[in-house]
């Protein structure tokens, strides 16, 4: 099939082509954690390229549980008009626009001053960088039920704002992924132990979200193919979870991998596997496509049209592109015109892998900030300079976030 062929989803909605702008964390909210003017401009740049699907970066279901101080939160109607303006950016181009709903769990930065929640009180292991993250508290039954309700509330609000779908983030070491992994979930109640118990939160969230929105509203899931850590969530677990998801009304399942501890989504793996190639997770996705009842999407390193075609020829319904679109937001239009562009960043091969991962994220965010103010990307950005700028920005926004949260609690 052609990358520019339409895709009909299980709920009847049609995506105009088979290429998605995958989620990336923008860190571009305004001071109230609502979509900023710059964030809307960034997505206008991507919508102008006319992908079939735009996925937001993390939109948090709880402003007390953030992946970063510049993150967007959607938990009530206070800033719904701003979310409507954000949704309208894509609707004007006929592009599907889905909100990625997320909870960070233990991947909560310590400088935000919030209590991190997790399935078990097990902190991130990032060596000397571990202190950057808050020590988590094991969640109570009440905490878990509150999270399920929040996912459903945020989905309902996303539909009210004019988005066409949501994606439940169950990958990359965030809260749902933490419940799935035996490394971070040591619970002995109905939320831990067997894989069926560890997958319970994901399944309950899907049920709650689907019940909160209309049948024509799209509900997707992002799942790790593996954690890429020995003893963690592996490909056999992923296969079993897909079987559990099959009976549920899911419109698209995106496969990715890794976490903060093993950032496989950036081409690194703690267990020594090499991922430094395009379409990182394609091989496993081909196997899952045989058993999955819903359309699959693969994200991870894709930046050339022939690789998109390889993904589709493997039985995968959609290809997700992320970093390449920060370097060339109109990439799809160029491909339609017959130009085989291959935008990519220079690899960062620093010895300290967590630092290299932070620098990679910083370089990508630098490109997004340039696009958000109408400037062209700069692929030759020095990683150390981008990292310094990013850390300064995060520190400033963290102080701002703490001040706002302190004021709102009074």
- Helix H, strand E, coil C: the string for the chain is CCCCCCEECCCCCEECCCEEECCCCCCCECCCCCECHHHHHHHHHHHCCCCCEEEEEEEECCCCCCCCCCCEECCCCCCHHHHHHHHHHHHCCCCEEEEEEECCCCCCEHHHCCCEEECCCCCCCCHHHHHHECCEEECCHHHHHHHHHHHHHHHHHHHHHCCCEEEEEECCCCHHHHHHCCCCCCCCCCCCCCHHHHCHHHHHHHHHHHHHCCCCCEEEEEEECCCCCCCCCCHHHHHHHHHHHCCCCCCEEEEECCCCCCCHHHCCCCCCCCCCCCCCCHHHHHHHHHHCCCCEEEECCCCCHHHHHHHHHCCCCEEEECHHHHHCCCHHHHHHCCCCCCCCCCCCCCCCHHHHHHHHHHHHHHHHHHHHCCCCCCCCCCHHHHHHHHHHHHHHHHHHHHHHHHHHCC
- pTM of the full predicted structure? 0.94
Return the pLDDT at 276: 43
- Block residue for tokens 């400088």: 111
At residue 14, φ and ψ (nearest 5 deg) are: -120, 130
Give the model's pLDDT for residue 226.
63
- Contact of 198 with 160, CB cutoff 8 Å: no
Residue 383 in tokens: 């990683």
pLDDT in the model for residue 228: 61
Tens digit of pLDDT at every position of the chain (410 positions): 899 999 999 999 999 999 999 999 999 999 999 999 999 999 999 999 999 999 999 999 999 999 999 999 999 999 999 999 999 998 888 899 999 999 999 999 999 999 999 999 999 988 888 898 999 999 999 999 999 999 999 999 999 999 999 999 999 899 999 999 999 999 999 999 999 999 999 999 999 999 999 999 999 999 987 666 666 788 899 999 999 999 999 999 999 876 665 554 444 443 344 334 566 678 888 889 999 999 999 988 899 999 999 999 999 999 999 999 999 999 999 999 999 888 988 889 898 888 888 899 999 999 999 999 999 999 889 999 999 999 999 999 999 999 999 988 76
Q: What is the pLDDT of residue 256?
A: 83
**How far is the CA of 57 from the CAs of 23, 167, 209, 305, 335, in angstroms?**
5, 10, 18, 23, 24
Residue 89 CA to residue 347 CA, distance in Å, equals 32
* Domain range summary for the chain, segments of one domain joined by +: 7-345
Q: What is the pLDDT of residue 390?
A: 95
The CATH number that domain 7-345 falls under is 3.20.20.70
pLDDT given at position 266: 45
Report, in angstroms and rounded to the nearest whole number, the Rg of the chain calculated over CA atoms.
Answer: 19
> What was the pLDDT predicted at 258?
62
Mention every residue, 6+ apart, whose C-beta is less than 8 A from residue 320.
19, 20, 21, 22, 55, 254, 297, 298, 299, 300, 302
């Amino acid at each position: 099939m052609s990358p520019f062929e339409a895709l009909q989803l299980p709920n009847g909605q049609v995506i105009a082509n088979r290429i998605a702008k995958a989620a990336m964390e923008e860190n571009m909210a305004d001071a109230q954690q609502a979509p900023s003017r710059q964030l809307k401009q960034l997505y206008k740049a991507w919508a102008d390229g006319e992908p079939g699907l735009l996925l937001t970066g993390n939109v948090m279901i709880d402003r007390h549980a953030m992946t970063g101080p510049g993150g967007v939160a959607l938990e009530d109607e206070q800033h719904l008009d701003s979310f409507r303006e954000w949704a309208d950016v894509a609707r004007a181009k006929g592009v599907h626009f889905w909100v990625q709903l997320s909870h960070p769990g233990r991947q909560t930065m310590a400088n935000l001053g919030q209590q991190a929640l997790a399935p078990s009180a097990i902190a991130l292991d990032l060596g000397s960088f571990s202190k950057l993250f808050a020590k988590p508290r094991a969640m109570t039954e009440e905490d878990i039920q509150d999270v399920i309700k929040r996912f459903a509330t945020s989905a309902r609000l996303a539909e009210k704002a004019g988005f066409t779908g949501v994606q439940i983030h169950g990958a990359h070491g965030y809260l749902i992924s933490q419940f799935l992994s035996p490394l971070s979930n040591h619970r002995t109640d109905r939320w831990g132990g067997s894989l069926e118990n560890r997958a319970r939160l994901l399944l309950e969230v899907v049920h709650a979200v689907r019940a909160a929105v209309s049948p024509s509203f799209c509900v997707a899931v992002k799942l790790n193919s593996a954690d890429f850590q020995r003893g963690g969530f592996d490909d056999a677990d992923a296969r079993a979870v897909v079987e559990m998801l099959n009976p549920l009304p899911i419109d698209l399942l995106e496969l990715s991998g890794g976490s903060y501890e093993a950032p496989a989504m950036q081409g690194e793996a703690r267990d020594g596997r090499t991922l430094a190639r395009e379409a990182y997770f394609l091989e496993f996705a081909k196997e899952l496509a045989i058993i999955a009842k819903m359309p699959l999407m693969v994200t991870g390193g894709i930046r050339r049209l022939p690789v998109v075609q390889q993904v589709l020829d493997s039985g995968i319904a959609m290809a997700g592109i992320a970093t390449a679109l920060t370097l060339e937001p109109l990439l799809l239009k160029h491909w339609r015109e017959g130009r085989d562009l291959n935008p990519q960043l220079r690899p960062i091969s620093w010895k300290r892998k967590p630092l290299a991962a932070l620098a990679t994220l910083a370089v990508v965010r630098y490109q997004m900030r340039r696009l958000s103010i109408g400037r062209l990307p700069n692929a030759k950005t020095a990683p150390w300079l981008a990292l310094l700028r990013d850390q300064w920005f995060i520190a400033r926004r963290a102080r701002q976030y703490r001040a706002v949260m302190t004021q709102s609690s009074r």
